[in-house]
Amino acid sequence: MDGILFDLDGTLLDTLEDLMDSVNYALQTEGFPQRSKQEIRAFVGNGVANLVHRTVPKGTPQPIEARCLETFRAHYANNMNHKTAPYPGIMPLLNALKQRGIKMAVSSNKFDAAVKKLCAEQFEGYIDVAIGESETVKKKPAPDGPLLALRQLGCRREDTLYVGDSEVDLATAENAGIPCISVSWGFRDKELLESLGAKTLLDTVSELRDCLLDMAAK
């Protein structure tokens, strides 16, 4: 194994509180009801446009939804790192992988500028490539992001693993032709991932560390 592609939200970073705060700020500006943490958890994972679409009231006119999305983007761009932090054990995991010469990238459905900013601030010196959704990179489950990350890392897909926490990640890895490890500490429940056919499903960062280091040693 030469490389690992990580999802970001719900896999490396617990971003839920900052996402919720920005969503509810945008909803409040339009006079819409606030959303709970559990609702936001269920809605994330498929890009910010879908997140906002799911949070605004059903039947919201498109121009108002678009304005709400722009309000969210502007607020989140300036407030994305107040409560966000790596899950416990993630930094030692990344350090152990780096010590073994494993190349690491992030492929996320968050907008590209936010992905690059968060990775630079949270994972400087560990994540070699950070790619989010943009005009030239389709959001997952399209394989654009992972395949671009592979090219920039200089890794082959057969020598790479994909790690993510959602159904989108399972589909992305399959579309990219990369083996997937699913984790259950993020934004999707273990039962859902099992029902979707997750072949390798880990419950803790320590389990992921042991799995990845074992594979790196082969």
Phi and psi at 186, nearest 5°, equal: -95, -125
C-beta separation of 169 from 149 below 8 A: no
Q: How far apart are CA 67 and CA 91, in angstroms?
A: 37
- Does the annotation count 7 as an active-site position? yes
Closest listed residue to residue 174, CA positions, set 148, 147, 156: 147
Residues with Cβ < 8 Å from 86, sequence gap 6 or more?
12, 13, 14, 122, 123
C-beta separation of 129 from 152 below 8 A: yes
Per annotation, catalytic residue among 7, 128, 165, 169: 7
Residues catalogued as catalytic: 7
